[in-house]
Structure 1
Amino acid sequence: MNEKKTAERGYHHGDLRGALIRAADELLAERGLEGFTLREAARRAGVSPAAPSHHFGGAAGLLTEVAALGYAELARRLIDAGKAGTPAERLKAQGLAYVRFAVDFPGRFHLMFRHDMLLEDAPVLEETTSAAWDALERTVLAIRGQPDRSELDAEGNAMLIGIWSTAHGFAHLTLDKKLARIESCGSDADMLETLFPAIIDTLWVKKLG
């Protein structure tokens, strides 16, 4: 089947562009960044190898769309986790949501921070990244007793970056199985349900009183 007929079939059944994004997302989930190729993504979507470049301009354009999916899902989880409880409880819930996202979507998670592989100025990436960042920022504002949507000062920004770094680092250690070397850490479930909340308590919550 030639590309024109394949494209017509794709559009007839829905969205060929969306099919390519889904194929790339599935490929990353199965094989990671090292196993990703445009050719394989095209094959899975049922189009010619030239189709991804036609629709996205190349690998960076297609991977940017997948990264945006990741940020959108991360933002959704962070927003949900930040809806209830005290600011300290929200912080702990959002930290857990961040790590669980990485565990659930390791392919997306690793891609999202590979700026060398993405179109950083793409509007969809900027919009979804901001949504995730804003969810954490609102919790820091609440912790500091500032109105929602106000501007963080230097100390507030330092706290925001520190909280993000804590969750991000723990997520990477979990995915890389580095914590498994520490016998007292227990299973992955134990680390998420017990160890990580204890880290948040020690580094942030207890200091907040």
Structure 2
Amino acid sequence: MTSRNTYHHGDLRQAVLAAALDVIAAEGPGALSLRDLARRAGVSHAAPAHHFGDRTGLLTAVAAQGYGLLADALGGVDGLRERGVRYVRFATEHPAHFQVMFQPELLRADDPDLVAAKDRASTELRTGVTGLPDVPDPRTAGIAAWSLAHGFATLLLSRNLDDPLTGRDPEEAFRALAALTFGTGAPGNPGAPEGVDGPENPPTH
């Protein structure tokens, strides 16, 4: 356990977030306790409350961090299908964030950091659909594409695809699924054009 004396300004907040992500990945967000996280991080029991206020504040910070990471993952990627691959990759690399981000009942919806991070992610998601040729209904296309990537990622994380994907790379399997669903060269990633339910109104699971 790390001594609290080794922390510098700002490190303690990250230490508590890291401990929270470990708990969420192993046991789910319902297992979070600020007192337990303080013990895990090697800090006083009051330290998490000082930085996050309460359990909802901590989960909101986790979600905000997750949306920021998602926006980074999607940025600069050409092609809607490859944005879908990045979405799936984000979910597999950050499963604890992914669990929390799409459960709005756990979060403080008006938190400024969360709102800003969602806006960044939404912009990246919309970019995948905006300007696509020969798409008569971008709104519906965006919903379909996002649903495909989010559903695939959710099934992957819950290990429901272990048998169907035996011996296959999940990202390559997603590319093939996107082509089968949308046609060659068509979208395979969640893009949400203006007006499409994106991270502002995510599915719960």
SS in 2 for 1:181: coil
Mapping of 1:173-192 within 5 angstroms? Answer: 173-182=155-164, 185-187=165-167, 189-192=168-171
TM-score scaled by structure 2?
A: 0.78
Deviation at 1:96, TM superposition (A): 0.7
Decide whether the 8 Å contact of 1:144 with 1:156 is kept in 2: no
Deviation at 1:136, TM superposition (A): 1.8
Question: What's the counterpart of residue 36 of structure 1?
Answer: 32
Regions of 4+ moved over 4 Å: none
Q: Which structure 2 residue ranges, 5 or more long, are not aligned? A: 188-205
Higher relative contact order (CA 8 A, sep 6+): 2
Q: Distance in 1 between matches of 2:56 and 2:134?
A: 41
Q: State the Cα deviation string for residues 98-130 of structure 1 (Å, max 9, x = none).
A: 111111111111111111111111111111112
Select 1:197's aligned residue among 175, 197, 201: 175
Q: Which structure 1 residue ranges, 5 or more long, are not aligned? A: 1-5, 85-89, 147-153
Select 2:137's aligned residue among 145, 155, 162: 155
Deviation at 1:74, TM superposition (A): 0.9
Q: Distance in 2 between matches of 1:21 and 1:123?
A: 18
Aligned residues: 183
Q: State the Cα deviation string for residues 114-153 of structure 1 (Å, max 9, x = none).
A: 111111111111111121121121120131489xxxxxxx
2:77 matches 1:77: no
2:146 matches 1:164: yes
2:116 matches 1:127: yes
Decide whether the 8 Å contact of 2:56 with 2:106 is kept in 1: yes
Question: What's the counterpart of residue 87 of structure 1?
Answer: none
Task: Work out the percentage of aligned pairs sharing the same amino acid.
Answer: 38
Q: Distance in 1 between matches of 2:110 and 2:74?
A: 23
